[in-house]
Amino acid sequence: MAQLLDGKTLAQKIQDDLKTKIPDWVAKQGRPPGLAVLMVGDNPASAAYVRNKERACEKIGMASFGKHFPADTTQETLSEAIAQLNEDEQVDGILVQLPLPKHLDDVALLHQIHPDKDADGLHPLNLGRLLRGEQGIRSCTPAGVMEILKAYDLSVAGKKAVVVGRSILVGKPLALMLLAEHGTVTMAHSRTPDLGAVTREADILVAAVGKPNLITVDMVKPGAVVIDVGINRVVNEETGKGRLVGDVDFANVVNVAGAITPVPGGVGPMTVTMLLQNTFLSYCRKLGV
């Protein structure tokens, strides 16, 4: 059986650490760190994510400035809201909850967020800093993956790492982070011929596609570290009940891998935690620390 990489427990540990630090900073500075989350419409999944983020803020003593807009909100209204948050001294991090309704230009809105308040690490300037190896805010989910590897002393240096998925949210930034830690990185995707032949070479295999059970046991090198970023809801046709599964066939791969993240309870909790950590770091940098 593979070692389980418990992202839920690690996320709680990091949040507890922030919870301990924040009161001292509030006593010195007169205000807590502040995170603003903008949500448009009533997508149930997005609403659940936003609630989780707002609760997490409350638990650690971080101020939450949630702004919820109706589905027919205009680009101009959201643009104006972001401009106001950029100027708000109480706000250290800004997040636009994706996906947005189709009539909105999400890229333009993300670009408008001030890079120093870009809690999700998706502004071109922060992605450019990652590419150049410079200090800056890192994308939350990839940063969470790297924290898991670090917490379990799973060194990347000298290892073959394969990232399946090339999104700007996870695949591309994570490949750069693994490269920065001296891994030899291969990116695979939907047009990669013989995907299994590529993944079987991986000492560290990351699945970030959004396709249930894409990675089967025959695609995994024995003893490999398997990081499952996928979060997919599947419904039992007989009972009608849904459950979350990853991109990895966990039930079988767990018997071959050396270490593996479960779904749920693996990478997911780390994403929200890194969002909080990014906001706290922005708060500290604003104060010159």
Write out the catalytic residue numbers.
53, 97, 120
User: What would the two tokens of residue 137 be?
Assistant: 């805010």
Nearest of 147, 56, 75, 246 to residue 66 by alpha carbon: 56
Angle between helix 267-286 and 44-60 (nearest 10):
50
Distances (CA, A) of 49 to 37, 39, 271: 10, 10, 11
List residues bridging with 97 in a β-sheet: none
User: What would the two tokens of residue 285 be?
Assistant: 């940098």
For the annotated binding site, the residues are 165-167, 231
Long-range contacts of 95-100 (CB under 8 A, 24+ apart): 95/35, 95/36, 95/37, 95/38, 95/53, 95/119, 95/120, 95/275, 96/38, 96/120, 97/37, 97/38, 97/39, 97/40, 97/46, 97/49, 97/50, 98/46, 99/43, 99/46, 100/40, 100/41
- The 10 Å Cβ neighbour count of residue 184 is 16
DSSP symbol at 115: G
For the annotated binding site for NADP(+), the residues are 165-167, 231
Long-range contacts of 191-195 (CB under 8 A, 24+ apart): 195/164, 195/219
In angstroms, the CA 188 to CA 19 distance is: 39
In angstroms, the CA 278 to CA 137 distance is: 6
User: What would the two tokens of residue 76 be?
Assistant: 């101009």
Helix, strand or coil for residue 133? Answer: coil
